[in-house]
């Protein structure tokens, strides 16, 4: 996948660069051509203006009026002055152009390399179409450009016409500079050739850099891909090890978070599986004993193994006791299952917490008579309104009181206090071993002694679930053979503080 993506990115980068290069090349070619033509025209104009100004100066120094650019002894035999001849000869070599000079009477004084010395003389009929208009505009004082002389010279030619102005401002002649534009075309072609070579080299370099960048760009994506494949295989401990402050880095972080969540979920699933197995094992163990006793008793009675009335009565008592234990165990399991189910709703309403405590104490005192245990309740108020389920909160307090009575010494006292939203229940009995404290709220966890032989091991688990469903914080403090205190913090559900 990485190779495909690298080649795709490189291809897309190359296409974009190629399009940009072509666009830039076209724009540059147009601008370069226009600039070259403008520069060529300016040079021609500067040369033509220089010729015009020099010839104007010549006419000021000459004493003849009709043809100020030359001397003539008579009207039929005239010739250039020595200064003019030297200058005109010099013009053709330095301008690389054909210099035509035309006077006010449209006489060709010179035409490039041919002087007016009886040799070849051009006439206006030989000139190309619109040439006279060009010359006429120059006589009107304009600097004119034209390409109409191209066919005349049988090569593309650019012509610039500049007027020759006398000292009093009169146009007395015209300078026409005819320059072949093949030099300019060669310069433009050379510039374009250089541009094309530069673009090609830049494209090659860009392709190499694009490939390198694309390879580096897709490297973290390979890591992310490999991690997702490992996650699909069930390995939730892998990490991408990608640290980037961009979108790919965000994806890598999201994958790492997913890996952590899946790892946590896997551990939680393993924990739940273990809890389920432990629950099945515990419930099987808890059910096996009473079922075995009941079956043995029933078989003994059925097979007439026991016939004496006293023994029969004892067997019936065992059957009743084990049946009551089974009923309590089933009820506790149902209660715990309901409380752990998020869909099971409690009947919450505004109730007086202290009334619940008083009701629980009255019920618990009936259990205290056999061991001569007294219960003291102190509170700094008579009413504390909370939002809760009356019956479930009463059940929670009774579970704690039942355990407190069960493990208290004969003639001892159970102290209950309520201050600052905290209800504390303290018994002065055996206490809880420090190593047992973390597990007392686990299902089926109970002390294996004679005092707890009738317990199901689900009471404290039920109390903890009731507290959790009411957002009540529960803490336990105990010292072995001295005391045990259960504290319930009701501050989160008190209606009026």
Mean pLDDT of 152-174: 83
For 292-344, what is each residue's pLDDT tens digit? 778 888 888 888 877 788 888 888 887 887 787 777 777 767 776 777 677 67
Give the pLDDT confidence score for residue 119 in this predicted structure: 44
Report residue 445's pLDDT band, with 50, 70 and 90 as the boundaries. Answer: low
Percent of the chain beyond pLDDT 70? 80
Question: Position of tokens 């303290």?
Answer: 426
The pTM of the full predicted model, rounded to 2 decimals, is 0.45
Report residue 2's pLDDT band, with 50, 70 and 90 as the boundaries. Answer: low
Report the CATH number of the 2-186 domain.
3.30.450.20
CA–CA dist 71, 328 (Å, integer): 147
Report residue 78's pLDDT band, with 50, 70 and 90 as the boundaries. Answer: very low
Go through the chain and tell me how many residues it has.
497
CA–CA dist 162, 140 (Å, integer): 10
For 357-413, what is each residue's pLDDT tens digit? 988 888 888 778 778 888 899 988 888 888 888 888 988 898 888 888 888 888 889
**pLDDT tops 60 at residue 152:** yes
Alpha-carbon radius of gyration of the chain: 58
Average pLDDT, the chain: 77
Pick the CATH number of 247-338 from 3.40.50.1980, 3.30.930.10, 3.40.50.2300, 1.10.287.130: 1.10.287.130
Contact 174, 138 (CB under 8 A): yes
- Which are the contacts of 137, defined by CB distance < 8 A and separation ≥ 6? 144, 161
Contact 144, 160 (CB under 8 A): yes
**pLDDT tops 80 at residue 198:** yes
Domain boundaries, the chain: 2-186, 247-338, 345-489
Who wins on pLDDT, 93 or 143? 143
For 16-31, what is each residue's pLDDT tens digit? 878 888 888 888 888 8
Pick the CATH number of 345-489 from 3.20.20.80, 2.40.50.100, 3.30.360.10, 3.30.565.10: 3.30.565.10
Q: Which of 388, 422, 399, 284 is nearest to 332 (CA)?
A: 399
């Amino acid at each position: 996948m990485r190779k495909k993506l690298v080649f795709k990115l490189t291809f897309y980068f190359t296409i974009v660069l190629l399009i940009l290069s072509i666009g830039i090349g076209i724009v540059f070619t147009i601008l370069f051509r226009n600039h070259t033509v403008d520069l060529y025209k300016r040079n021609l104009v500067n040369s033509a203006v220089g010729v015009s100004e020099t010839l104007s100066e010549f006419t000021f120094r000459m004493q003849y009026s009709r043809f100020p650019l030359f001397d003539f002894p008579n009207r039929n035999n005239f010739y250039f002055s020595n200064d003019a001849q030297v200058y005109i000869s010099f013009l053709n070599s330095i301008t690389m152009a054909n210099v035509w000079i035309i006077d006010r009477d449209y006489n060709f004084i010179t035409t490039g390399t041919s002087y007016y010395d009886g040799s070849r003389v051009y006439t206006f009929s030989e000139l190309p179409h619109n040439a006279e208009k060009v010359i006429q505009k120059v006589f009107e004082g304009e600097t004119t450009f034209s390409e109409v002389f191209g066919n005349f010279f049988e090569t593309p030619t650019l012509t610039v016409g500049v007027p020759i102005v006398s000292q009093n401002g009169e146009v007395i002649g015209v300078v026409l500079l005819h320059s072949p534009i093949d030099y300019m075309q060669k310069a433009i072609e050379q510039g374009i050739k250089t541009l094309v070579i530069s673009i090609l080299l830049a494209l090659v370099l860009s392709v190499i850099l694009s490939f390198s960048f694309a390879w580096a760009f897709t490297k973290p994506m390979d890591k992310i891909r490999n991690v997702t494949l490992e996650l699909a295989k069930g390995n939730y401990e892998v990490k991408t090890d990608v640290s980037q402050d961009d979108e790919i880095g965000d994806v890598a972080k999201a994958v790492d978070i997913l890996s952590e969540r899946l790892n946590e979920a896997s551990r939680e699933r393993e924990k739940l599986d273990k809890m389920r197995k432990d629950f099945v094992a515990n419930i099987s163990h808890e059910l096996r004993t009473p079922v075995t006793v009941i079956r043995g008793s029933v078989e003994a009675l059925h097979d007439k193994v026991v016939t004496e009335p006293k023994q029969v009565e004892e067997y019936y008592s065992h059957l009743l006791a084990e049946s009551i234990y089974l009923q309590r165990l089933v009820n506790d399991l149902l209660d715990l299952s309901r409380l752990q189910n998020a869909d099971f709703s409690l009947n919450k309403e505004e109730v007086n917490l202290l009334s619940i405590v008083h009701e629980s104490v009255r019920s618990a005192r009936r259990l205290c008579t056999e061991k001569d245990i007294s219960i003291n309740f102190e509170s700094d108020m008579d009413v504390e309104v909370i939002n809760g389920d009356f019956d479930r909160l009463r059940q929670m307090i009774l579970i704690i009181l039942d355990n407190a009575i069960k493990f208290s010494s004969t003639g001892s006292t159970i102290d209950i206090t309520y201050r600052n939203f905290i209800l504390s229940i303290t018994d002065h009995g055996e206490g809880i071993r420090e190593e047992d404290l973390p597990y007392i709220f686990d299902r089926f966890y109970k002390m294996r002694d004679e005092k707890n032989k009738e317990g199901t091991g689900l009471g404290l688990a039920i109390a903890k679930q009731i507290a959790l469903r009411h957002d009540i914080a529960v803490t336990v403090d105990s010292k072995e053979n001295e005391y045990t205190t259960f504290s319930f913090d009701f501050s989160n559900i008190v209606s009026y503080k």
